[in-house]
Chain A
């Protein structure tokens, strides 16, 4: 992922309908957003369709980007995730391709420029603090775009149990990170 201020700046320019800025933004971020989409959808073909929708959405919504609030990368990643998750939800269950676990593992890619910052270290530590090794599961849910139902199915527990558990984990996570 590219450094923060450049991305924020490019998004603002895209908001002014600067096409060159969109291309630069694409060059800087598309590999990451493509990876995110593949991880959620489980195959390249679907991810390719979604990636196009993602950048068209970025083009259309960039004028709403507020540099004072979410960071550019968070804004982009959210658009990517929401778009991919929407497609994932639209699939009928029988089409669900369950190979996403092969695509990415839990070890960070050493070639990636990691966001070395407080937030990064703190999240990792707080995830590790979650009871019953649930940190790994939270990562799987987040990266895979799992619904509550999918989570319940994977854990082989009732839906309400999954909901209660995840909600508790998120509250614990927030408390830990706000320390």
Chain B
């Protein structure tokens, strides 16, 4: 229900359009415009009414560098390619500041707007953000229990020492179980075998370690853990 504007409201709208308000009053007026469509319309009517006074203002052509600065400020990815945002460190740093649960929530929104790689049963999907100590950006792993399929959204650089990256699931008892190797240079879908499906539950940890070519010879991680994250229900 919109209330009719009082005379005082109309005066306030005119003062805002005239530009005579102090900063805190201007902020209040802006907020009111956002919340109150009638007030906003009144402000706009006043803006139109007063606009012709601007005919008196002389045009002054600004320096070219002004446009250069503007152009630089608005450049940058507008529509993110799938890889673009996932590899954007500022994006991840920003997320890490708001905490993991909030990050999962934020990611869910982004994630559901992407083309799903697999048909996803959203309410059962598990997500993990794998972070590392190094400068490498975190990456996302999604597990769909309906299909027992692990979707790893990451682009990996070739390891300079030719090591392979192996993914592990770590249950509460702490014994890592291998989920397989992550191929360098692509995003992989890993099928999770029957014995391990029970371990793909909320609270368990996913980890990536560096192993010799072909994976760990022992069935347990032999190289350093380079990323890890906890599985959470979407």
Contact = CB atoms under 8 A, between A and B. Distances in A.
Given A89-B23, A123-B49, A151-B20, A51 B11 contact: no
A19 B73 CA distance: 11
A130 interface: no
Nearest to B54: A77
Q: How large is the interface on A (under 10, 10 to 19, 20 to 34, 35 or more residues)?
A: 35 or more
Contacts of B41: 69
Contacts of A124: 52
Contacts of B18: 141-142, 166, 170
A74 B61 contact: no
Given A36-B54, A104-B58, A143-B53, A86 B26 contact: yes
A146 to B, nearest CB: 7
A89 B22 contact: yes
A97 interface: no
Interface stretch (B62-70, B104-112, B172-180, B185-193): B62-70
Contacts of A173: 49
A17 B74 CA distance: 9
A112 B21 CA distance: 29
A68 B62 CA distance: 31
Interface in A103-121: 103-109, 111-112, 114-115, 119-120
B23 A31 contact: no
Interface in A59-83: 59, 69-71, 73-74, 77-78, 81-82
B58 A74 contact: no
Task: Tell which of B21, B56, B75 has the most Cβ of chain A within 10 Å.
Answer: B56
Nearest to B61: A31
A70 B55 contact: no
Contacts of B61: 30-31, 34
Which 9 pairs of residues, A with B, have the shortest CB-CB distance? A31-B59, A120-B52, A70-B44, A170-B14, A55-B70, A35-B57, A17-B78, A34-B62, A123-B52
